[in-house]
């Protein structure tokens, strides 16, 4: 599979939205608003990094990061997500390739670390761990994970961009 991973462009926005809807259509534990989150983050200028995976000219994967605030004041931390992969390509390693590329680029941008809300079995493969002392209010601790890029692990409550909580 000849996949190109690259930054999103304006021409990708509609394809990213359609992909995100399809990727989360049958997902449990979702309000099915992930496409709105991506759109609102983009409109707010809060997409610090947004990558697409392209196959034969089609967008088949997407991953984005946005800044988070941590109550202890730790700077340069980001939230991962949403991440979307075409349902037809699940299990083919595309999500892993997006994760590897995104985390490497985020680290190269000077990020201190990254947090994610999601499945520990998947995100744990990329160095994410549930950290005592770091919490996302209202979320079970085992599903909220962090990965430091060398900085001290922050302590406190994490707050995502308002796009994640708007109705």
Q: What would the DSSP string read from start to end of 71-123?
A: TT---SEEEEEEEEE-GGGTTTTHHHHHHHHHHHHHHHTT--EEEEES-HHHH
Q: Distance (Å, rounded) from C-alpha 96 to C-alpha 13?
A: 22
Give, for all 167 residues of the chain, the pLDDT tens digit: 799 999 999 999 999 999 999 888 877 666 767 888 999 999 999 999 999 999 999 999 999 999 999 999 999 999 998 999 999 999 999 999 999 999 999 999 999 999 999 999 999 999 999 999 999 999 999 999 999 999 899 999 999 999 988 64
Fold of 3-164: Aminopeptidase (3.40.630)
At residue 76, φ and ψ (nearest 5 deg) are: 65, 35
Q: Distance (Å, rounded) from C-alpha 157 to C-alpha 69?
A: 8
Domain extents in the chain:
3-164
């Amino acid at each position: 599979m000849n996949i190109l991973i690259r930054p999103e462009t304006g021409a990708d926005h509609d394809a990213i939205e359609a992909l995100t809807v399809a990727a989360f259509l049958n997902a449990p534990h979702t309000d099915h608003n992930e496409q709105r989150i991506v759109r609102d983050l983009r409109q707010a200028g809060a997409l610090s990094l947004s990558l697409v995976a392209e196959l034969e000219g089609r967008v088949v994967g997407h991953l984005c990061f946005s800044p988070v605030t941590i109550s202890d004041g730790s700077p340069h931390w980001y939230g991962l997500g949403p991440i979307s992969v075409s349902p037809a390509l699940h299990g083919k390693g595309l999500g892993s390739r997006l994760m590897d590329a995104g985390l490497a680029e985020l680290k190269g941008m000077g990020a201190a670390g990254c947090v994610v809300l999601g499945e520990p079995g998947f995100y744990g493969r990329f160095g994410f761990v549930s950290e005592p002392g770091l919490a996302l209010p209202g979320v079970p601790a085992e599903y909220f994970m962090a990965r430091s890029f060398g900085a001290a692990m922050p302590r406190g409550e994490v707050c995502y961009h308002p796009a994640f909580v708007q109705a």
